Amino acid sequence: MRGDAAGAPQAPSSALGTPRIGLALGGGSARGLAHIAILEALDELGLRPAAIAGTSMGSICGALYATGLTGAEIRAGFIGELASRAAFARRLAGKLAEGFSSLWSLRSPSVIDNVTLFEMILPDILHCDFAALKIPFVAVAADFYAIEQVILDSGPLIPALAASCALPAWARPVVLDGRVLIDGGYVNPVPFDVVMDRADLTIAIDVTGETRRPRGAKAPAVPPPLEAMTGAAQLLFHSVIREKLKWSRPDILIRPAVGAFGSFDFFRIDDILAASAPAKDELKRKLAQCLEAAG
């Protein structure tokens, strides 16, 4: 773990002429399932990133891809897990019976221990160290007290992913090396700046979701409190990204049209992937242009 970009592992140098690709997968909970379509696009073009950075849901997808799995394999895995709510609940219950009992602590029963949850639900292939990954990968988390970005790039993968996904109110913050870490989206919702110096071509995938309504469109004069709260969080994430784009830009920025999905719509994976198909084509088109321009 490091506070910032010092001592980044160097990406393998590229073959002559092919630019090294840096891939940044952003946070967005269930909307982040759209990343799978993006990974498939890379496979179909026969491109392999030289470095991957992921925030929150982007860290899970990024880590899976960094193990060497293909986009199609990741899609099949997620669909298998999320095909049925009942089956998922049964598997979870089975694991709880096996002795994973600390998912909820008695002290704060309203929130989940993300590390335990991830040990239970993430596939075995992720039960490894960063060093075992085939593509250099970093996960982005936020230091709750210092309010700064923490880049996780070594040690066991699962706690790092759990930290990157520790959304307040849903999961308990994860303590790593004495730092209290929460969801990386709070400091860097689309971490393209983290991979920039390790790549010639940076691809950023923003899955925070567009929820803008046209002015004058039918909307309640006063949004219900819940919508007000989620809308406010959305606005704040977008503001961070907008300000970031004022000083730095990825070469390719893709925003899959997943704004209509809620943060916990994981079981709507088929719909989310269908909605991401145009983004997949857009990425392929833009990548082709960039590669052509690069010669």
Q: Which residues bind other proteins (CB under 8 A)?
A: 3-5, 108, 110-111, 142, 144-149, 168-169, 172-173, 175, 180, 182, 186-188, 193-194, 196-197, 211-217, 219, 221-225, 228-229, 231-240, 243-244, 246-248
- Type of residue at 133: L
We find the least distance from the C-beta atom of residue 19 to other proteins, in angstroms, to be 14
We find the least distance from the C-beta atom of residue 195 to other proteins, in angstroms, to be 10
We find the least distance from the C-beta atom of residue 107 to other proteins, in angstroms, to be 9
Taking the least distance from each CB to other proteins, the nearer of 122 and 190 is: 190
Q: Given CA atoms 222, 228, 234, 237 in this order, what sign does their dihedral have? A: positive
We find the least distance from the C-beta atom of residue 74 to other proteins, in angstroms, to be 28
Taking the least distance from each CB to other proteins, the nearer of 78 and 237 is: 237
Taking the least distance from each CB to other proteins, the nearer of 37 and 151 is: 151
Taking the least distance from each CB to other proteins, the nearer of 46 and 216 is: 216
Count CA atoms closer than 13 A to 30's CA, side-chain side: 18
We find the least distance from the C-beta atom of residue 92 to other proteins, in angstroms, to be 21
Taking the least distance from each CB to other proteins, the nearer of 111 and 260 is: 111
